[in-house]
Amino acid sequence: MNILSLFDGISCGRVALERAGIKVDNYFASEIDEHAIKISRRNYPEIQQIGNVLNVDATKLPPIDLLLAGSPCQGFSFAGKQLAFDDPRSKLFFEFLRVLKECNPKYFILENVKMKKEFLDIITEHVGVEPILINSNLVSAQNRQRYYWTNIPNVGLPYNPEAEKLLLLDILDVDVRQIYWANEELRENYDGGKYLSPKYKSQGNRVHDIEAKSPTICAGSHGYSNGYVDTGVVRRLTPIECERLQTLPDDYTDKGVSDTQRYKALGNGWTVDVVTHVLNQI
């Protein structure tokens, strides 16, 4: 299959295709973040990077069988200002529509965040198919609700009882470097693997229940917006733990970029096993 992936990020779609057993002849990726591209290239050097979506002309590519897109969501997200189509990032949805018409693929998948119904209805009207809301907690240890618009037939909710049972404690790393402890005071109070655990109140400094699903990881700097976990020790999630929450292989993003860029890339990425589930219906 020839694949075109817009807003490709770290090529989570390419990982999902591999897991779904779909043969990839060409994978064209449109992305502008140099760190995401670096991660993508080191995992899949054969990917053809074609630059900014604003400059993509799908008529000049080979016939596209599958179009993937997770257009920027900041303008739609309940966690943001909800400027919707007034946000220049969310306006990029219309670039997806343009490319969709240009390449007329056999299949397409568009992913975006849970949003107000008025925004949802506009996207649905333009795309021409009803979305399905899938929570990543059905396949992972993370709560992450996302809409998927696709013309792939018979896509329902994933059913994986074992994966659905996964909790935050199941994906925690056993060997965590000191740099991930919350702060110096907590490091100094370290005694046999236990800290007195302050109950952080702010959005960026949360103590999560490890015997539950993780909240949605996001692209905040240094991982602090991905919260703290309490295992008798208060610390932030590591990049590897965030990779596991997104059902990516360990160290997938450890490709010569900083932790800050790893967290950003993972927060902007897809939960691979959800996309794999969708692709399995082809």
Other Cβ atoms closer than 10 A to 119: 18
Would residue 73 show up in a list of annotated catalytic residues for this protein?
Answer: yes
Choosing among 3.10.20.310, 3.40.50.150, 1.10.357.10, 3.50.50.60, the CATH entry for 2-160+271-279 is 3.40.50.150
Other Cβ atoms closer than 10 A to 173: 14
Q: Where residue 282 falls among pLDDT bands split at 50, 70, 90?
A: very high
Q: What is the mean pLDDT of residues 62-85?
A: 71
Who contacts 265 (Cβ-Cβ below 8 Å, separation ≥6)? 9, 10, 33, 35, 36, 39, 219, 253, 257
In angstroms, rounded to a whole number, what is the distance separating the alpha carbons of residues 75 and 43? 30
In angstroms, rounded to a whole number, what is the distance separating the alpha carbons of residues 27 and 150? 19
Q: What is the pLDDT of residues 118-154, one digit of tens each?
A: 889 989 999 999 999 999 999 999 999 999 999 999 9
Find out whether 215 and 163 touch, Cβ atoms under 8 Å: no
Q: Which two tokens stand for residue 236?
A: 């932030």
In angstroms, rounded to a whole number, what is the distance separating the alpha carbons of residues 178 and 72? 33
Active-site option among 73, 103, 218, 242: 73
Q: What single-letter amino acid sits at 124? A: T
The confidence score (pLDDT) of residue 90 equals 64
* pLDDT beyond 50 at 79: no
Q: Where residue 55 falls among pLDDT bands split at 50, 70, 90?
A: very high
In angstroms, rounded to a whole number, what is the distance separating the alpha carbons of residues 205 and 123? 34
In angstroms, rounded to a whole number, what is the distance separating the alpha carbons of residues 28 and 5? 6
Q: Where residue 218 falls among pLDDT bands split at 50, 70, 90?
A: confident
* Residues in a beta bridge with 191: 194
pTM above 0.75, yes or no: yes
Every domain of the chain and the residues it spans: 2-160+271-279, 164-263
* pLDDT beyond 70 at 33: yes
Q: Which is the CATH superfamily of the domain at 164-263? A: DNA Methylase, subunit A, domain 2 (3.90.120.10)
